[in-house]
Amino acid sequence: MNKPAPVESRPYHHGDLRRALIEAARRILEADGPAALSLRGVAREAGVSPAAPYHHFKDKGELLDAVAHEGFEALAVALKDAKSKAVDVKDAMASLGVAYVKFAGANPALYRVMSDCSRDKDAMPDHLHDDEDSAYCTVRNTLVQAGLEGATPLDLELATVAAWCAAHGLAEMSGFRQFEGLKKELGGEDAFLRGVLEHLGMFAKVMKG
């Protein structure tokens, strides 16, 4: 047997089953959707017995957690990328929002696993919220740079949460067929997304007193 040489203290029998399982899960996810993802199916796809995964994940849920974790990392990358491509600082915020929604649209099954895991734990992943260069901080920093220096820290935090919630809501609803007319009228999905995000202000302006 010529295994690829145990570079780290990880591989044993299979090489790196944990990794293989996560990748098999992502493959099944994008191919057949979240409803078709079974632990047995993942094991089958990875070429091991149905009980093998239990030596790497305590649960089916823990496998999904791992998949979701990778999804959130990819999301953070997509957001950073979008911000770096923004034409100016006023555009950065909208770009972030659009990038968020488009990530969800491009990886619908993955995004669904991500949000399901979050809701099951009543929390977004901590690294996403706490780390210095987390997605959460990226949004907050962008808000500051775009002209919210005057705001109190509390304002800033609330605005960040507001932005995140709006992006998540739009991500889950932007595919609704009832919005097809609006998209056509505006000339595409991007215009629709930007339009909705911009009109959050109009909506918010009529509130409070």
Partner DNA sequence: GCGCACATCTGAACGTTGTCAAGATGAACT
Partner DNA sequence: AGTTCATCTTGACAACGTTCAGATGTGCGC
Neighbours of 28 (CB within 10 A): 19
CA distance 136 to 163: 10
Footprint of a second copy on 149-168 (CB under 8 A): 151, 154-155, 157-168
| Choice from 22, 52, 101, 135 touching DNA (CB under 7 A) | 52
| Choice from 30, 32, 59, 130 touching DNA (CB under 7 A) | 59
Question: What counts of helices (H) and strands (E) characterise the chain?
Answer: 10, 0
Closest CB to DNA among residues 66, 101: 66
Closest CA to 69 of 51, 82, 57, 83: 57
Pick what 97 binds: DNA, a second copy, none; C-beta below 5 to 8 Å, kind-dependent.
Answer: a second copy
Residues 6 or more apart whose CB falls under 8 angstroms from that of 194 comprise: 94, 98
Q: Radius of gyration of the chain from Cα atoms?
A: 20
| Choice from 23, 70, 146, 189 touching a second copy (CB under 8 A) | 146
The residues that touch a second copy, with contacts defined as CB under 8 A, are 88, 90-91, 93-94, 97, 112, 115, 118-119, 122-124, 126, 129, 143, 146-148, 151, 154-155, 157-170, 172-179, 182, 185-186, 194-209
